[in-house]
Structure 1
């Protein structure tokens, strides 16, 4: 698929996702960030808001560690936004918003149910 066939918001979202993941691995000092994965990034059509979805493997949405990680991510929004601005050279640097992604959690639950049914 050529870059021409992918919309600009989609390309920017992909680059933001890659950049955030890179920052979490290489720049972050917070140990909670090392255990998370960025599952998705959606950006508004006007590129003003980036919604970044993350998962903490082995955790559920209401686990205290998930809430602490979300709070730490929100506290670091300014850092992520300035790094995105510096690295991607965007005219408009989007507001960064983090959301916990329940899809991996739900997928594991469904997989467990399937395995349980197969054993019966």
Structure 2
């Protein structure tokens, strides 16, 4: 039963993070960034957020640096929006899965021709 609550909380955090990312005014967080995966620890004290960008891994790395500097603001916003007893500490990790999947799609499209 606790697993269902954990999964629901993870999805709530993902939804709220998406909204908070739109509010941030940091110039390093530009372009199309997306949340690939949110991994919330069992005791809800740590949360790993995997970030990917359509502009490549370098843009994702810059976005992660901007998100790390705004981690306190993000934590406060999540705590107030979700009314959590313990707000997790966020760790942002860059990921190149969107670029990788677009590359595979391009290769498959070229093979089809």
TM-score range, shorter chain: 0.7 to 0.9
Shift of 1:39: 2.2
Residue pair 1:40, 1:53 contacting (<8 A) in 2 also:
yes
- 1:97 equivalenced with 2:94 (yes/no): no
Report how many aligned residue pairs link the two structures. 112
Give the one of 79, 103, 106 matched to 2:100. 106
- Secondary structure of 1:55's counterpart equals strand
Q: 2:36 matched to which residue of 1?
A: 39
Q: Secondary structure at the match of 1:7?
A: helix
Distance 1:85 1:34 in 2: 26
Task: Tell me the equivalent position of 2:25.
Answer: 29
Unaligned runs of 5+ in 2: none
TM-score normalised over the length of structure 1: 0.82
TM superposition outliers: structure 1 runs of 4+ over 2 Å: 30-35
**Contact 2:39–2:49 (8 Å) recurs in 1:** yes
- The offset of 1:111, in angstroms, is 0.7
Write the deviation string for residues 61-99 of structure 1: whole angstroms up to 9, x where unpaired: 2x2x33221111111111100111111111111110111
Deviation at 1:12, TM superposition (A): 1.1
Question: 1:34: how far off?
Answer: 5.5
Is the contact between residue 38 and residue 49 of structure 2 (CA under 8 Å) also seen in structure 1?
yes
TM-score norm. by structure 2 comes to 0.87
1:74/1:53 CA distance change after superposition, 3 Å: same
